[in-house]
Amino acid sequence: MKENILNGYKIAKELYKEVGVDTDQAIEILESIPISINCWQLDDVEGFEVNRHQTSGGIQAIGDYPGKPNNIEEFREQLVDVLDKIPGKKKVNLHAIYLDAKERVERNEIEPKHFESWVQFAKQHNIGLDFNPTLFSHPLANHGTLSNRDPKIREFWIEHVKRSRNISEYFGKELGQPSIHNIWLSDGLKEEPIDKVKPRKLIIEALDDILSRKVDKKYSIDALESKLFGLGSEAFVAGSHEFYLNYTAQSDAINTYDMGHFHPTETIHDKLATLLAFDKNIHIHLSRAIRWDSDHVPVVDDDMIAITKEIARQNAFDKVSFSTDCFDASIDRVKALAIAGRSVAKSLLIALLEPIEKLKEYENNKDFTNKLALLEYSKTLPFGLVWQYYCAKHEVNIKE
């Protein structure tokens, strides 16, 4: 480790110690938090189905930056490059369309065998795997999936999600850590529907069927991802926040909060304590919305820091899991994904370095003056010196 980085860390360590923060402990906690890296940034959410379908469901990657992988081998090479650029514990978040199969496989036919090579990849690189059924970019998804009025189409998607759960459970058993099985569907309408209850009743029936088989949470955790609106579903999305919040209150599934899936001026950090108060687990998709759910590459900004601080202040890292979620084809895809992962890690470290115990002490004593003063002072503490040390410890070049 370079002497200037080590010396800088020693200075930072002493300054943080003065406000009651142990930087070594903060780093130790950060090293225990897996950050799940969304694979679909690398190829613009296309996947490797032999019978590949046109991207739909409001999914739109803008740009034609060179270097997109041509096959699964190149894809994994780029993924390794990404993982090497992000310090700490990591997972990879896969969609069902990233199966490894030479033959045509319909989505209601996917099996763990189609993802065996991903398990080998994960073991080789000491990472975990999360999983998502792909309920978009398919001819049978054009008019709804789990809310489709046609029972045959609905059954097709129910079977797809059931098989996705099996694959997630397989990941958990093989890799010895829980796999988040995240369900997101783009079912909705461009114009206001007359009946907003019927499609939701159908989704309830479908989810009840899908989740009827109990899965040990040490292997797989079901999460439901809500959305406010999307391209082609501006007026109505069946899987809204309120809908899933009610559903998870009476099921074993947890809620996924995507930073881009709410009103443009709405942030999610204030919502987290609501679920934590009920001892509920939460999954978070860390993205960056610019005026709408645009899935920009996450950066260290106020929204990101507000989320990580809320979790750190409640010491809820055992209840919250994190995944990046972005796709931008206008810039280098590998570096974009590395920036995303590092931004999450930086934000987590900023949160872990906050003098939480001292701030709580002031708050409990109704000493709001010193609380505010300490909050402002802590903003000037040299987080960057701790970050440089953390990256150097993990042999990551932060300038790449």
| Set 43, 187, 225, 354: catalytic member | 225
Q: Is 95 a catalytic residue?
A: no
65, 331 contact by CB (below 8 A): yes
Q: Is 118 a catalytic residue?
A: no
Distance CA 211, CA 222 (A): 8
| Set 295, 303, 328, 354: catalytic member | 295
Residue 195: how many other CB atoms lie within 10 Å = 8
| Set 138, 271, 285, 371: catalytic member | 285
Q: Is 261 a catalytic residue?
A: yes
| Set 95, 114, 160, 261: catalytic member | 261
Of 378, 390, 393, 358, whose CA–CA distance to 16 is shortest? 378
| Set 44, 258, 303, 328: catalytic member | 258
Q: Is 285 a catalytic residue?
A: yes
Q: Is 225 a catalytic residue?
A: yes
Q: Is 227 a catalytic residue?
A: yes
| Set 95, 184, 283, 371: catalytic member | 184
| Set 44, 169, 187, 293: catalytic member | 293
User: Can you read off the two tokens belonging to residue 382?
Assistant: 């040299």
Q: Which helix (H) or strand (E) segment is 340 a member of?
A: helix 333-352
| Set 91, 227, 283, 309: catalytic member | 227
Q: Is 160 a catalytic residue?
A: no
| Set 325, 346, 354, 371: catalytic member | 325
User: Can you read off the two tokens belonging to residue 301?
Assistant: 């900004």
318 CB-contact burial (10 Å; exposed 0-12 / middle 13-18 / buried 19+): exposed
List the catalytic residues.
184, 225, 227, 258, 261, 285, 293, 295, 325
